[in-house]
Structure 1
């Protein structure tokens, strides 16, 4: 893999720079962009190899979001910068802001200085910044980018993203495989979802065909899914039929408090915080007319097909065992 600023990798086409390239979504995005003919340049803390990138040869800039020189090298000569990197768990709001607000501000400034377009991959959680430190920091990152780019900016808000390699959805499939029951929350809740390959394809489409403004992603059901449908679809994907049991909101809040205490005691970040509990208990994570969706190519994976494909991958990689059928 070539390193910047000594860019010796093959140039197939214009340069697009990507942060967060080693993450769950970023890895797919790099692959899609390279296959579409872009010269992909990534930011990473060290040289990496990824089986998904075999033969693609993305250019490499060593550094992180705190390294302004590395960000300048990343963006230099790029036609577009896709900022995917971000924290999903941290000890407190200040830590979230360092990654999701200040990191975004530095990327936006580097892209602006280089004369590159910026596509900021945010989160649907930014729609409700009061719910959690994470959601507030994602909105703060959007605001920081707007301060620099004004209206000449594309912000993408994905909903829940799942697919091969995602450890969070893997936990759901493991529960569906082994547990006698699955928890469901409020029947009023609606949640949009999207398969990681479809999310990557749609973000790549925004690189190819620029669209400015605040945009949303989802699969073919922007109105979202309820907890019962979600859990039944997961159970079907693993070939199980656990009972669905309604869990009171108080239990989720209590569990989140315990998780936060454990995190403080061990020094290890946890994703289940009181803020994350408020996100889980929020009724409306569907998309509406206030969440504009561009005219994207059709998704490859509706939820049932996407869950089934994910389970096949988890089993092929040994991440998920095929349980014997239960009566």
Structure 2
């Protein structure tokens, strides 16, 4: 029986939200895993996901191509999970999601390694959002350097450590009113475990070379429906206040400097103007989770397993008699 124990996979951005699930999925499939991150000392939580010596963290910064090349040494596969949702300091969309992707793709090409690149549905060179434009530039650079690379585009990703469902649940705990941007915009939320399974399938060689897969959950939901599901899960009644995009942009101009859960950037508002769902073209070509043999989990099935902590009664559901 074939073993993966001799195959070294380098995971860039492996200590983040999606990263820990990808590392776990690869560890279960017996790969040796090198996690390339800016701060290896913060990647200790990954060690228990594998056997002794199976997972090893190294320092790499995408702005320094030499560190990327060093992290790729002897690797058979590279996975790029590096991405940011908002800019800050030296972390700019183009630097991380376009130029960073170039550095990884070139390092992979130089040693003949395969490449799995995680982008996002909505990556579009003509988008009003700089985030979406930088994602499109990253995809283009990847395919230019490694034409056989696999590109995975998830819709909005949810799971225990996400900054999406947890954020709204946290806001619901402290605010009686929740402003709703893009109330009717359709999303196709995808469970982080399913995204990780898709990455592992790509590493196993089960994806079509040079193809772009679109990863979405089992159903399309409007932003309003998603927030309503979160409120129902955390057992809190809150007033939802739909904001027109013009007003939301004005608010975001101020909130882009706000801390934590209150932060909202004009770029995020621009993203919410466009539906974020799996295209008909991807479905008909079989370039989806289902095409990889993965049956996606729904928000209804997963979200209660971790958002219970935001209920006033904790894990004990309020009794209604």
TM-score bin, normalised by smaller chain = 0.7 to 0.9
> Is 1:102 aligned to residue 92 of structure 2?
no
1:229 corresponds to which of 215, 225, 229: 225
- SS class of match (1:219): coil
1:53 alignment counterpart: 47
- SS class of match (2:71): helix
Distance 1:90 1:66 in 2: 15
Answer whether contact 1:72 1:114 (CA < 8 A) is retained. no
Answer whether contact 1:79 1:116 (CA < 8 A) is retained. yes
1:217 alignment counterpart: 215
Deviation track 1:226-270 (CA, whole Å, cap 9, x = no partner) reads 12321221112112232333222222111112234x47xx9x9x9
Answer whether contact 2:38 2:59 (CA < 8 A) is retained. yes
User: Residues 308, 31 of structure 1: CA spacing in aligned structure 2 closer, same or farther, 3 A cutoff?
Assistant: same
1:247 alignment counterpart: 243
2:279 alignment counterpart: 288
Distance 1:65 1:253 in 2: 31
What is the RMSD of the two structures over their aligned residues, measured on CA atoms? 2.9
Where does the alignment leave 5 or more consecutive residues of structure 2 unmatched?
none
> Is 1:274 aligned to residue 266 of structure 2?
yes
User: Residues 178, 301 of structure 1: CA spacing in aligned structure 2 closer, same or farther, 3 A cutoff?
Assistant: farther
Distance 1:127 1:74 in 2: 29
User: Residues 55, 165 of structure 1: CA spacing in aligned structure 2 closer, same or farther, 3 A cutoff?
Assistant: closer
TM-score, with length taken from structure 2 = 0.84
Answer whether contact 2:180 2:241 (CA < 8 A) is retained. yes
> Is 1:39 aligned to residue 29 of structure 2?
no
Distance 2:64 2:46 in 1: 27
2:138 alignment counterpart: 141
Shift of 1:113: 0.9
Match runs of 1:25-174 below 5 Å:
25-48=18-41, 49-54=43-48, 56=50, 57-90=54-87, 95-127=92-124, 129-150=126-147, 152-174=148-170
Distance 2:125 2:218 in 1: 23
* Length, aligned pairs only: 302
Distance 2:47 2:288 in 1: 29
> Is 1:15 aligned to residue 8 of structure 2?
yes
Deviation track 1:42-88 (CA, whole Å, cap 9, x = no partner) reads 11234334335316241233221133333223223322111111232
Deviation track 1:114-156 (CA, whole Å, cap 9, x = no partner) reads 1111111011131364221111111111111122123x12111
TM-score, with length taken from structure 1 = 0.82
- SS class of match (2:213): strand
1:3 alignment counterpart: none
